[in-house]
Amino acid sequence: MTDHFRLTIAQLNACVGDLAGNAAQAREAWEAGRAAGAGMVALPEMFLAGYQAQDLVMKPAFVADCRVHLERLAQDCADGPALGIGAPMVEGGQLFNCYVVLEKGTMRAVMRKHHLPNYTVFDERRVFASGPISGPYRLAAGGPRIGTPICEDAWFPDVAETMAESGAEILLVPNGSPYFREKFDIRLNQMVARVTETGLPLIYLNLVGGQDDQVFDGGSFVLNRHGALAGRLPVFEEALRHVDFVHNGEGWHAEAGEEAPFPMSLEQDWHAMVLSLRDYLKKTGFSKVLLGLSGGIDSAAVAAVAVDALGPDNVRGVMLPSEYTSETSLDDARAVAANLGMRLDTVPIAGVRAAATAALAPLFQGLAEDITEENLQSRIRGMLLMAQSNKFGEMLLTTGNKSEVAVGYATIYGDMSGGYNPIKDLYKTRVFEICRWRNGCHRPWMEGPAGEVIPERVIAKPPSAELKPDQKDEDSLPPYEVLDDILRRLVDEEASVSDCVAAGHDRDTVKKVEHLLYISEYKRFQAAPGTRLSMRAFWLDRRYPIVNRWRDPG
C-alpha cells in the first residue's frame, strides 16, 4: 500500500438542471487532478443535478438523464483518477440522494444519504428516501479507505462512527450547505466533533454559487486529528485544491495547505448578495438590470450590489419623479449613479398620474385622498419600469429591505415589481451598516469602483417614500432601531409579544408590528426572490398561512 495519497477537491458552481454543463465542469476538474497526479477528484453533493433541485428530482425523465450523464462521465474519466460526484439515483423503486465514485469506467461505489434534512430551506424527506449507512471504499490505485458521509450525515455521530468502525481511514464529506450569517463556525464545530469521535482526518467539501434565493458559500476545509485545521478554501469563490495525505505509521494525516482569509460578517453578506444576483442573472439568461433609483439608501444599496455583480455598463437607474420628489432626492440619485459610473435616465410620472387620476375621478368623486393615491404613484412607477424591462431585456430589480417586507411597507404591483431583490433579507439598520462598510472597503471580486459609492448624505437623511408632502417613514412606522429589534424577536427568534415587552418594548407598538407582520403575508407570497442571508429569511425558512386570524394574546 502506498503511503502517499493526493485527493483533489473541486469547490465549483453548479447550475440546477444543466447536466451537460455540470458534467463538463467535472471533466475539467478531473483533468486537473489527473495532471497533478491525484488518486481521486471529488465534487460536492448533487453536483451533477445542481442543488437544490427540489421537485425536479421527482421527474423520472430528469433522473434518467442524470444516469446517462453519469455513465458518460464514467467512460470519459476511465483512464486516470477516480471521480466522486453527487447525483440523484433510483434503486429498487426508491429515489436517493447519492454520492457516486466513478473509476475505470464503472461505478465503483455508491453512497446513499442517510439523514435527510427537513428544516429551514430543506425538504429532502419530500423527495428522497433515507439510504442505509454505507461502508468505506478503497480505490483500485490504493491509498486510504474512504468513508463518505453526505452533508447532513456528518451532522450526526452515527454515520461517521459506523464508517470508522468499518475501516474508514479518512472522511470525505460532500456538501450542498447554503449560507447564513455566522454559519462557518457551526459547520466547523460539527466537523471537529466528528474528527474527535472517530480519530480520522476529514475533508469538508462545499458547493459554491447562487441558486434562486440560496447562496452556497464554499469555504471548504481540511481537518486532521484533534480538529487541527490543515487548510481552508475561500468563501463565495470557486477553487480547486490538491490535498496530500501521508501515512505516518499511526494513520493518515493531511499535509498543511493554504488557509484562505476569512472575512467579517458584513463582507460575507455583501459578497453573498453580489454572487447571488450575478448567478441568478447568468443562470436565467439575463445580462443587464435596471432599477428605480430614488435617491434613498435602499435603491442606492441595490445599485451598488448590481454594479459590483455586473459592472456599471450593465446597470441602469431610472429616476421617476413626481411633484413630491425633492430636489435633494434628484441630486442624490444623480450622485449615486455618478459615483457608481452607471447610466441614469429620468421618466417623470406627473402626466401619467394626472391621466390616471382623471380616469378614476368619476368613481372617486366626493372621497378624500388617502393611501390609494399614494399607491397609485408607486404602481405607475412599477408599470413604467416593467415596460422598460420588457423593451430592453433588462431584469428589473426591486429594492425593499427586510423591515419593509416584514410589515408590508411596500406597494404590491408597485415598488415590489421586479425579478430579484438582493437586500430582501437585510433589516433597514443593517442596510445602513453595510453601505458604510462598502464605502470603506473594496475587494477584487467587485466590478464596481472603490471609494464612497453611496454618498454619506444618502445614508444620513431620514428615510421617506415621498408619496405625499413632507412624508417620513417614521410617520407610519416605529423608528427603525425599535422596529428592527421587535422584528428580529418576532421573526428570527419566534419570540412572543410578552418576550418583546420584557425586553423593554411598548406593548402597543409590539402588537401593531405583529399585526402588520401577519396581514402582509399575501404580499410576501407574491414578492420577488432575494438573497437569503439569515436563518429566517422570508420564503422557505418561514412558511406562514396567508389567511391567519390568530394573534398572540400576550
List Cα–Cα distances, 211 to 121, 178, 338, 440, in angstroms. 12, 9, 31, 29
Active site residue: 151, 237, 374, 394, which one?
Answer: 151
Distance CA 233, CA 400 (A): 33
| Other beta carbons less than 10 A from residue 410's beta carbon | 21
**369 labelled ligand-binding:** no
Q: Would you say 55 is a known binding-site residue?
A: no
Q: Is the peptide bond before 25 cis (omega within 30 degrees of 0)?
A: no
119 known ligand binder: yes
CA-nearest of 13, 17, 12 to 284 is 17
Q: Is 311 annotated as a binding residue?
A: no
Active-site annotation holder among 45, 124, 267, 374: 45
| 22 belongs to an annotated ligand binding site | no
CA distance 482 to 403: 11
3-state secondary structure of 127: helix
Q: Residues 6 or more apart from 67 whose CB is under 8 A from it?
A: 87, 89
Pairing between β-strand 395-396 and β-strand 289-292 as defined by DSSP bridges? parallel
227 is in an annotated binding site: no
* 299 assigned binding-site residue: yes
Q: What are phi and psi of 10, to 5 degrees?
A: -120, 100
Nearest to 539 by CA among 530, 547, 548: 530
**Has 151 been annotated as catalytic?**
yes
Known active-site residue 45: yes
HSE-up (13 A, CA, CB side) for residue 183 = 20
**149, 537, 48, 146 alpha-carbon torsion, rounded to 10°:** -10
Beta bridge partners of 91: 94
Rounded to whole angstroms, how far apart are CA atoms 2 and 142? 7
Q: In sequence order, which residues have a C-beta less than 8 Å from that of residue 285 and are 6 or more positions away?
A: none
Q: Are 537 and 424 in contact (CB under 8 A)?
A: yes
428 among annotated binding-site residues: no
Active-site residue 435, yes or no? no
Q: How would you class 399 by CB atoms within 10 Å of its CB: exposed for 0-12, middle for 13-18, buried for 19 or more? A: buried
Tell me if 294 is assigned to a ligand binding site.
yes
Q: Is 21 annotated as a binding residue?
A: no
Cell of 554: 400576550
Please identify which of the residues 77, 98, 103, 113 carries the catalytic annotation: 113
480-507 b/e (C-beta count within 10 Å ≥ 16 → b):
bebbbbbbbbbbbeebbbebbbeeebee
Q: Angle at CA 510, nearest 5°, toward 505 and 511?
A: 145
Residue 298 labelled as part of a binding site: yes
Q: Which residues carry a binding-site annotation? A: 119, 177, 183, 292-299, 375, 399, 404, 523
**Residues contributing to the annotated binding site for ATP:** 292-299, 399
- Binding-site positions for L-glutamine: 119, 177, 183
* Positions marked active-site: 45, 113, 151
Residue ranges for the known binding site for deamido-NAD(+) are 375, 404, 523
